[in-house]
Amino acid sequence: MSATGTRHGVLERVLQADHPASRGHFAGNPIIPGAVLLSEAVMAIARHVDEPLAPLVVHSAKFQHPARPGDRVVIEFSSSGGGAYRFTCSVGGQPVLTGQMSCSALPTAP
């Protein structure tokens, strides 16, 4: 975290090629359900900032393009403090999810 409390990062996740959530979504043209993509993004950000992001409120989540099993997802996030985060998930440079969330967890003292 910087002196102003701003956090940011760029992370990568590779969605399992045989991800169980893609079964039935959709036969012959599998996609990763939006809830799974959102969950993966939140968990990756929480691991990166090394603190729980719970309780969590998702204020917005816009799914712009499907993410597919085997895709490499780039997650970019920023926070200006107060537990509020903005994030974008992209595949091949194309946004697949953008959103805003906040949590009431307070940073611990160093």
In a domain, 63, yes or no: yes
Question: What digits encode the pLDDT tens for the residues 18-35?
Answer: 888 887 788 788 999 999
Structural domain count, the chain: 1
Which residue has better confidence, 81 or 101? 101
Whole domain around residue 60: which residue ranges?
7-18+31-103
Share of the chain above pLDDT 90, in %: 61
Stretch (H or E) spanning 98: strand 94-103
Does a structural domain hold residue 24? no
Where residue 107 falls among pLDDT bands split at 50, 70, 90?
Answer: low
Mean pLDDT of 81-91: 93
In a domain, 70, yes or no: yes
Average pLDDT over residues 35-50: 92
58 in a domain, yes or no? Answer: yes
Helix (H, G, I), strand (E, B) or coil at 46: helix
Query: What is the CATH number for 54?
Result: 3.10.129.10
Residue 76 lies in a domain: yes
**Whole-angstrom Cα distance, residue 76 to residue 10?**
4
Residue 50 lies in a domain: yes
